[in-house]
Amino acid sequence: MSIFIDNSTTVIVQGITGRDGGFHTKQMLEYGTRIVGGVTPGKGGQTFDGTVPVFNSVHAAVKATGANTSVIYVPPMFAADAMMEAADAGIRLIVCITEGVPVLDMTRVYPFVQEKGARLLGPNCPGLITPGQSKVGIIPGRICTPGHVGVVSRSGTLTYEIVYQLTRAGMGQSSCVGIGGDPINGTNFIDCLSAFENDPDTHAVAMMGEIGGTDEQEAAEFVATRMTKPVVGFIAGQTAPAGRRMGHAGAIISGSAGTATEKIEAFEQAGMGVAKRPIDFVTLLKARM
Amino acid sequence: MSIFIDNSTTVIVQGITGRDGGFHTKQMLEYGTRIVGGVTPGKGGQTFDGTVPVFNSVHAAVKATGANTSVIYVPPMFAADAMMEAADAGIRLIVCITEGVPVLDMTRVYPFVQEKGARLLGPNCPGLITPGQSKVGIIPGRICTPGHVGVVSRSGTLTYEIVYQLTRAGMGQSSCVGIGGDPINGTNFIDCLSAFENDPDTHAVAMMGEIGGTDEQEAAEFVATRMTKPVVGFIAGQTAPAGRRMGHAGAIISGSAGTATEKIEAFEQAGMGVAKRPIDFVTLLKARM
Amino acid sequence: MNIHEYQAKELLRAEGVPIPPGEIASTPEQAEAIAKKLGGMVVVKAQVHAGGRGKAGGVKLAKSPEEARELASRILGMKIKGLTVHTVLVTAAAEIASEAYVGIILDRATKKPVFMVSAAGGIDIEEVAATTPEKILKLPIDTRYGLLAYQASELGFFLFDDLKKVRAASKIMMALYQAFMKNGASLAEINPLVVTLAGDVIALDAKISIDDNELDRHPELEALRDETAEEPSEVDARNSHLTFIKLDGDVGCIVNGAGLAMATMDLVKYYGGEPANFLDIGGSSNPEKVVNALRIITAEPHVKAILFNIFGGITRTDDVANGIVTATKANPLKIPIVIRLTGTNEEIAMQILTENGFTASSDMDEAVKKAVALAKGGQAA
Amino acid sequence: MNIHEYQAKELLRAEGVPIPPGEIASTPEQAEAIAKKLGGMVVVKAQVHAGGRGKAGGVKLAKSPEEARELASRILGMKIKGLTVHTVLVTAAAEIASEAYVGIILDRATKKPVFMVSAAGGIDIEEVAATTPEKILKLPIDTRYGLLAYQASELGFFLFDDLKKVRAASKIMMALYQAFMKNGASLAEINPLVVTLAGDVIALDAKISIDDNELDRHPELEALRDETAEEPSEVDARNSHLTFIKLDGDVGCIVNGAGLAMATMDLVKYYGGEPANFLDIGGSSNPEKVVNALRIITAEPHVKAILFNIFGGITRTDDVANGIVTATKANPLKIPIVIRLTGTNEEIAMQILTENGFTASSDMDEAVKKAVALAKGGQAA
């Protein structure tokens, strides 16, 4: 078991002939992900890497391949359209890797995707992986190993760091999900926590938050009231100054709201384990599993 | 019993201090409709006709009165906003009398109202009446009498004509609903037929369609497949030329589509009674009840 | 409201649709001057609110300015489907490689504007839709989101394979949608959308209909109305705030409410007569409307009898009765009149009419039968 | 991206928000000339990207052009929260009857722009929100529909009773929303929105922040950027496509990925050190970014040690290693460097570093501890 993707997931890549899209498509194929098609307008009829058919539109790709999942590597100004196209074409899980999507675009994309009944992950996220089955996005496959820790994070490389440390300590993962660092995104912590709670193969959850917003506080409330499985949390940005955007568009302390301190307090009040350093996840999770 | 409104319906009037709004509010009060408030921006705090409190917004009116229904008499250019305001304020049934609402406005109003879970009747409709209980709109109360015929129509005065003839023949009505003559409206024939089918107090339905569109054909299909109660239909506009808008924005034969002939054929195929003249409703319904 | 081709083209050009240059002329000399200015071959096109201009000889290719003048002199003044041509558009001719159809209609079923495109262009789209629907792509647009880039691209790919043409077509789709929305249209059509021998994608003909309900919001569009292209009686009626459509029968109908007006016409036909018009005096009780309605209807020589059918709801029947009395006093009627009224203030109305020498009935069928008989020159039943 | 008050006012004026006339000056003489042209009393306002200008003495009322010159000469060159004032806005003074607050922020929780209005104006809205939330109306706007008329009216009625003022305020709400949307803002504020003694509703101060992600779409807004109002090192970093924020500590951090960069800073603090900066070299493996990052960080005299923390995913660690070698060959380091890298091509990277005399670790905690110790002048652990 796993959340969101497994070995039955069939994927199309939007922007497959681009630099990033091409690179990561190869990585995903190597990992064993079932990439069934790609989309680049004007390159319909071509083949990517000798095996993957390319289409002019997501509609055409879905019609021909029956794909249920899409991963998006297109430039930021085209990402909103790509997400809406995927939702409109009947894609069930849309993973948008693109960073730099204007936030106002997302105020239209979000309700559009909701209306179509699809799940959106991202934008500005590393995607997700179910070790040994499928990876959709850019999380390096070789740092992961199958197991029972669910991982959910707002960040990319920080997630890799923690997954790497878990794997080194012999703790495999059920699924690892990067929800992305933007202020408006499709899937939030609670969506993932809820899925992990319902996934029999997940025994505990590692959750990496950061400064900005109140998603972590709401997630803590969810952990306290709705979850039976242990959750260990971490917040990046304890040393971040107020009012500055720390790389991620969403990682900003607005006035006095969204600080690491208030998030860590929420974790503690929810009875969660709190990792002070990335390495602490190993001991805290071990103690709880 | 009845459909959509009864003596528990509480109504606010949008545009209550206008000429039409004021006139019909008095008519509705006279009929016994529970008018609990009115809305005219800038006249909040005043009283209409000595009894009805006026508010600056629908939100304020709903908050103060708990009204579940709204009836709209505002100029055409303000009608879209009025409908959306009512839906946003939690009104469950919105009746828009206003004629001349731009059709493109309705392409936004319709999904807005749907999203809020409200029912819209109209625009460009005479409203509805449940004889002896409540009337919302402009249907003359004195031509109606309580009974068991459900009446649904795209037209105003034609409906009065037929209701008048039914009443004269001793056939009372459960509810009479004018869905309006515009090409895009909130409630269609099927919505009303379905409600009449589920209303134990309705024993048969009189349905008045007209040229333009395919609503009557779809309604006939619904009658054939989903209704147990007898339905008698009429189509106005058999002598209308193609391509001309016959008063109602929706009453237009486009190319060869939307003719009276094809609608009447659909009624016949559905096994419905077909009234060739308004007066035929009396005999056709009597034969079926 | 319909507008002329040249007006529709101006609205599309404002949004960036590529359209061959052209100007309008109302004399052959103007046509010649425009052709000279444009250079090369030109097309002279009748500007009337009627389809089938080409078949009627209203669209002609001219190889020289002299020929343009000659053709304009033939087309100007020509009648197409009963409408006189007052204006021609003189526009540069294009060398056509292929033709497509692109249109947007406001669709009742989806409650959305719907794009219809077909590579089978320059044709009657209704016929294509009926016979070979697979040749048409229909794409409803959610106006909350507008025409999205991927949709414009899908429409383009339905017409063309070559990416350059797809992009050009997608841009035109966007522009057409903008023109549709900005101008409150109920229909906007480019037919044909052509690919020239040089590979450019351009609009050769355009049609836009404006939703009448939008005109209050768009005075600049109301100004595009060409009253010379309409029935004079209908122009008169509109200016008197009456909804009126002229027909060929002999029973003039004056009714309140569109549905009842249609039902009245149908009943005239049912009882063997022919309605002379559709006329809805609307819901208000203004006696002046009755006066205007009588004036417009009696101006038609083929009208042999007048039928009033008034169901008083909002409309007060006594107001209508007063209107009839006032109008007929000022301009005595030369043809018989049959009055049916019922509803609000019916007794007062009956009294007014009786006192002034009119008879009136409260039964619709009876009144219609009587009017039909009178129009046929017979006696009232 | 923040823009100055006068720039924000231009964007609002373009949408029709009533704003007192004014111009900017960079010399006292210009200020005097503007004041003379405006006539009457003027306000001289420092244009810096910092709050609390008033308290810092950066906003002053002048009764005459001479006084405007005198005040401008005092304000120009003044430092407010570390930022030097290069420009003042000289604007007509208003006679204030009452002050209100109107703002739009892009709200994460509702995923919508949210209006915040309060009749308690000219104040810190965050404080009002915290202490007396009932004095604020918060209204989320669905951008698919835009700000609807009834919403603008509701916002107006929350501030005023008088219909004339409500209408004026509603119009300003519409204009503010347009400005917010058109310019890809993340915040747009009128504070205070004032009613003058004459009863007019006008905007006295304005603030707009642009979503950095919108700038590619809005080159005209990118042009509003005032680099003189920013940290030179941050300007340099942005022009080198690095995400960099200067801090006061002594451990310079070079990391790939924003989350890991923050976590690295936190770990520096955890082990008793102070990070000198946030720096994310991003996901690409461009060695030039490493070169630029080292240049910018080593230019700060307070940086005592450099810490690389690279987790190779997309980023190839050998590229980073090559960047380090290149940069340090061109500009030999004067302070110690600690390198942690793991992931893609880790072995090759280690070899490159070793061959060039560097040591590197694959353990994050170990590397951070070492960097902290070195910055403190101690030995590497």
Name the strand (E) or helix (H) holding B127. Answer: strand B127-130
Statement to judge: residues C203 and C281 lie in one domain: no
Asked if the Cβ–Cβ distance from D148 to B42 is below 8 Å, we say: no
In a domain, C11, yes or no: no
Burial of D361 (0-12, 13-18, 19+ CB in 10 A): middle
Tokens of B241: 């030329």
Q: Which of A74, A85, A109, A114 to mutate to test the interface with C (most CBs of C within 10 A)?
A: A85
Residues of chain A under the 70 pLDDT cut? none
Statement to judge: residues D126 and D211 lie in one domain: yes
Containing structural domain, residue D308 = 231-375
Statement to judge: residues D185 and D317 lie in one domain: no
In this predicted structure, what is the pLDDT of residue B206?
98
Give the chain D residue whose CA is nearest to the CA of C144: D144
Asked if the Cβ–Cβ distance from B251 to C278 is below 8 Å, we say: no
pLDDT interval class at C308 (50, 70, 90):
very high
Min Cα distance B58 → chain D (Å) is 9
In this predicted structure, what is the pLDDT of residue B134?
98
The SS3 call for residue C186 is strand
List subunits contacting chain C, requiring 3 or more Cβ pairs under 8 Å.
A, B, D
Q: Which of C92, C110, C133 is the last residue of a domain?
A: C92
| Cα–Cα distance measured from residue D153 to residue D140, given in angstroms and rounded to the nearest whole number | 14
Q: Which of D214, D262, D342 sits opposite A240 (nearest CB)?
A: D262
Min Cα distance B265 → chain D (Å) is 41
Asked if residue A246 lies in contact with residue A191, where contact means CB atoms within 8 angstroms, the answer is no
Contacts of C154 in chain A (CB under 8 A): 57, 59
In a domain, C6, yes or no: no
Q: What is the CATH number of the domain that holds C340?
A: 3.40.50.261
Q: Which of C174, C201, C222 is the last residue of a domain?
A: C222
In a domain, D346, yes or no: yes
- B161 has a chain C CB within 8 A of its CB: yes
Per-residue pLDDT of C242-276, as tens digits, reads 999 999 999 999 999 999 999 999 999 999 999 99
Computed over every residue of chain B, the mean pLDDT equals: 96
Asked if the Cβ–Cβ distance from B57 to D150 is below 8 Å, we say: yes
In a domain, D14, yes or no: no
Residue C379, pLDDT above cutoff 60: no
Which is more confidently placed, D285 or D61? Answer: D61
In this predicted structure, what is the pLDDT of residue D381?
44
Statement to judge: residues D238 and D367 lie in one domain: yes
Asked if the Cβ–Cβ distance from A81 to C148 is below 8 Å, we say: yes
Asked if the Cβ–Cβ distance from C260 to B161 is below 8 Å, we say: yes
* Domains contained in chain C, number: 3
| Cα–Cα distance measured from residue D167 to residue D207, given in angstroms and rounded to the nearest whole number | 23
pLDDT interval class at D284 (50, 70, 90):
low
Q: For residue D288, what are the contacts with CB-CB under 8 A and spacing of at least 6? A: D323
Per-residue pLDDT of D152-201, as tens digits, reads 999 999 999 999 999 999 999 999 999 999 999 999 999 999 999 999 99
Centre a 10 Å sphere on the Cβ of residue D132 and count the other Cβ atoms it contains.
11
C-alpha distances in Å from residue B13, one per residue of B16, B21, B26, B187, D245? 5, 7, 11, 19, 57
Asked if the Cβ–Cβ distance from D214 to A102 is below 8 Å, we say: yes
In a domain, C168, yes or no: yes
Give the chain A residue whose CA is nearest to the CA of C145: A108
Question: Could you tell me which of B70, B22, B23, B69 has the C-alpha nearest to residue B46?
Answer: B22
Q: What is the CATH number of the domain that holds D140?
A: 3.30.470.20
Statement to judge: residues C249 and C339 lie in one domain: yes
Which whole number is the average pLDDT over B155-180?
Answer: 95
Give the chain B residue whose CA is nearest to the CA of C340: B161
C42 conformational bin, left if phi > 0, alpha if psi -120 to 50, beta if neither: beta
Instruction: Give counts: helices (H), strands (E), chain D.
Output: 13, 18
- Going along chain A from its start, the domains and CATH numbers come out as 10-121 (3.40.50.720), 139-288 (3.40.50.261)
Contacts of A210 in chain D (CB under 8 A): 259, 262
Statement to judge: residues D352 and D241 lie in one domain: yes
Min Cα distance B85 → chain D (Å) is 6
Statement to judge: residues D345 and D238 lie in one domain: yes
In a domain, D13, yes or no: no
Tokens of C327: 């109008």
Q: Which of C141, C144, C148, C181 to mutate to test the interface with D (most CBs of D within 10 A)?
A: C144
In this predicted structure, what is the pLDDT of residue C123?
67
- B46 has a chain D CB within 8 A of its CB: no
In a domain, D4, yes or no: no
Q: For residue C189, what are the contacts with CB-CB under 8 A and spacing of at least 6? A: C101, C102, C103, C104, C125, C206, C207, C208
- Name the pTM for this structure: 0.95
- A28 has a chain D CB within 8 A of its CB: no
Query: What percentage of chain B exceeds 90 in pLDDT?
Result: 92
Angle made by CA atoms D107, D110, D112, in degrees to the nearest 5 = 60
Asked if the Cβ–Cβ distance from C243 to B247 is below 8 Å, we say: yes
Asked if the Cβ–Cβ distance from C157 to A58 is below 8 Å, we say: no
Asked if residue B52 lies in contact with residue B68, where contact means CB atoms within 8 angstroms, the answer is no
pLDDT interval class at D82 (50, 70, 90):
confident
List, by residue number, the catalytic residues of A.
Answer: 248
Min Cα distance D161 → chain C (Å) is 29
Statement to judge: residues D106 and D213 lie in one domain: yes
pLDDT interval class at C378 (50, 70, 90):
low
Residue C121, pLDDT above cutoff 80: no
Chain C residues touching chain D at CB-CB below 8 Å: 144-145
In this predicted structure, what is the pLDDT of residue C381?
44
In this predicted structure, what is the pLDDT of residue A166?
97
- B160 has a chain C CB within 8 A of its CB: yes
Q: What is residue B76's DSSP assignment?
A: H
Statement to judge: residues D169 and D39 lie in one domain: no
List subunits contacting chain D, requiring 3 or more Cβ pairs under 8 Å.
A, B, C
In this predicted structure, what is the pLDDT of residue D110?
95
Which whole number is the average pLDDT over D17-36?
Answer: 97
- A274 has a chain D CB within 8 A of its CB: no
Statement to judge: residues C248 and C310 lie in one domain: yes
- Spot the catalytic one: C32, C99, C189, C346: C189
Q: Which of B77, B126, B234 sits opposite C217 (nearest CB)?
A: B77
| Cα–Cα distance measured from residue D192 to residue D100, given in angstroms and rounded to the nearest whole number | 5
Q: What is the CATH number of the domain that holds C57?
A: 3.30.1490.20
Contacts of C145 in chain D (CB under 8 A): 144
Asked if the Cβ–Cβ distance from C113 to B213 is below 8 Å, we say: no
Residue C86, pLDDT above cutoff 80: yes
Q: Which of C162, C194, C222 is the last residue of a domain?
A: C222
In this predicted structure, what is the pLDDT of residue D123?
67
pLDDT interval class at C229 (50, 70, 90):
confident
Residue C11, pLDDT above cutoff 70: yes
Statement to judge: residues C284 and C344 lie in one domain: yes
Q: What is residue B254's DSSP assignment?
A: B
Ranking A37-46, B220-229, C321-330 by mean pLDDT, the lowest is C321-330
Computed over every residue of chain D, the mean pLDDT equals: 93
Contacts of C163 in chain A (CB under 8 A): 41-42
Min Cα distance A212 → chain D (Å) is 9
Q: Which of C111, C263, C315 sits opposite B110 (nearest CB)?
A: C111
Give the chain C residue whose CA is nearest to the CA of D146: C144
Asked if the Cβ–Cβ distance from D154 to B57 is below 8 Å, we say: yes
Q: Which of A103, A140, A239 sits opposite D269 (nearest CB)?
A: A239
- Can you state the angle between helices B260-269 and B215-226, rounded to 10 degrees? 0
Residue D26, pLDDT above cutoff 50: yes
In a domain, C10, yes or no: no
Statement to judge: residues D301 and D338 lie in one domain: yes
Asked if the Cβ–Cβ distance from A42 to C166 is below 8 Å, we say: yes
Min Cα distance D146 → chain C (Å) is 9
Which residues are bridge partners to D277 per DSSP?
Answer: D246
Per-residue pLDDT of D96-128, as tens digits, reads 999 999 999 999 999 999 999 999 876 677 788
Per-residue pLDDT of D210-262, as tens digits, reads 999 999 999 999 999 988 888 888 889 999 889 999 999 999 999 999 999 99
Which is more confidently placed, C233 or B152? Answer: B152
- Which residue type, as a one-letter code, is found at position C171? K
Asked if the Cβ–Cβ distance from C111 to B101 is below 8 Å, we say: no
Give the chain D residue whose CA is nearest to the CA of A180: D259
Per-residue pLDDT of D128-152, as tens digits, reads 888 888 899 999 999 999 999 999 9
| Cα–Cα distance measured from residue A24 to residue A38, given in angstroms and rounded to the nearest whole number | 12
Asked if the Cβ–Cβ distance from C166 to A44 is below 8 Å, we say: no
Per the annotation, the verdict on C222 as an active-site residue is no
Q: Terminal CA-to-CA distance of chain B, rounded, Å?
A: 18
